[in-house]
Homo-oligomer: A and B are copies of this chain.
């Protein structure tokens, strides 16, 4: 078994194309002798004749015709497969699966990646935001190739690359009582309604870096799915939110909202990324 090798398909095809075995050999960068030997071995092992030797040229037998048809069907597929693997090698193909543990980063990421995707149409790009076992889990299970997160898991041998700094700020409407404050202290939010993304509290910076340390809480917390919705609600005075300053600045032209520093020093964060 396993008699048929690529060389045989190549040979049958080349002989058919170039007429003679000698020409075929040249086209394959081999000697006529090499092809003769390898085909003879195939013929022996299968105990069939591929060609009839008629004078000084070769005439395909029925089995040979069949083999030629097979070669014509399979070889292009092999070549195609190699080309595609080459594309993988050059990064021209494949799916870059990005996991994101920071909600508003999606828009930032799209802005970054759009020109790249336009240039490499065969590269696919997928963003996941829901992970069964957390971002790190997805990374290790090879569900994603890259994890973007504000909360890197600090374990030995686990290296995260800082991507950019940002400041987490409070967002209030332009006519909110706190609108002119340089900064706020936790107690000032005691009566507020806080809009957050639908993630656990331990991943919300305003809790971990601001409210919890002061043992304070807001009156109400409401979950909002999208960034736009959050700005809308804040803008019409229904509550406050905590978001990156760059995001607030971007939305400031669209909604009447104001960013305010959280605490005297502000809450400074970094976005990290880690490759699989």
Given contacts A62-B88, A74-B78, contact A4 B6 (CB under 8 A): yes
Cross-chain contact B6 with A95 (CB below 8 angstroms): no
* Bound-complex Cα distance A3 to B59 (A): 30
Q: For A85, list chain B residues within 8 Å (CB).
A: 4, 46, 48, 63, 66-67
Residues of B within 8 A of A95 (CB): 62
Q: Are A3 and B82 in contact (CB under 8 A)?
A: yes
A249-276 vs B, CB cutoff 8 Å, 1 = contact: the mask equals 0000000000000000000000000000
Interface digits, A140-165 against B, CB 8 Å rule (1 contact, 0 not)?
00100000000000000000000000
The count of identical subunits is: 2
* Given A46-B86, A47-B89: 16 more A-B contacts, CB < 8 Å: A3-B82, A4-B81, A4-B82, A4-B85, A6-B6, A46-B82, A46-B85, A46-B89, A48-B88, A63-B89, A66-B84, A66-B85, A67-B81, A70-B81, A73-B77, A74-B77
Q: Provide the A161-199 mask, 1 if CB < 8 A to any CB of B, else 0.
A: 000000000000000000000000000000000000000
Q: Which chain A residues in 95-110 approach chain B with CB under 8 Å?
A: 95
Bound-complex Cα distance A89 to B1 (A)? 14
Q: How far is the CB of A230 from chain B (nearest CB, A)?
A: 35
Residues of A at under 8 Å CB distance from B? 1-6, 10, 46-48, 52, 59, 62-63, 66-67, 70, 73-74, 77-78, 81-82, 84-86, 88-89, 94-95, 142
Indicate which residue in B48, B70, B81 contacts A89 across the interface (CB closer than 8 Å).
B48
Interchain Cβ contacts under 8 Å between A and B, 18 examples: A2-B10, A2-B82, A3-B82, A4-B81, A46-B82, A46-B85, A46-B86, A47-B89, A48-B85, A48-B88, A59-B142, A62-B88, A62-B94, A66-B88, A67-B81, A67-B85, A70-B77, A74-B81
Query: B residues within 8 A CB of A2?
Result: 6, 10, 82
Residues of B within 8 A of A47 (CB): 89
A81 contacts across to B, CB distance below 8 A: 4, 66-67, 70, 74
Chain B residues lying within 8 Å of A94, measured Cβ to Cβ, are: 62-63
Counting from the closest, the 8 A-B pairs by CB-CB distance are A63-B88, A70-B81, A48-B89, A47-B89, A62-B94, A46-B85, A48-B88, A4-B82
Return A82 CB to nearest CB of chain B, in Å: 5
Docked Cα-Cα span, A126 to B47, in Å, equals 24
Please report the C-alpha to C-alpha distance between residue A94 and residue B77 in the assembled complex, in whole angstroms: 26
Q: How far is the CA of A46 from the CA of B87 in the complex (A)?
A: 10
**Cα(A102)–Cα(B89), bound, Å:** 66
**Cβ of A63: which chain B residues have Cβ within 8 Å of it?**
85, 88-89, 94
Q: Are A82 and B1 in contact (CB under 8 A)?
A: yes
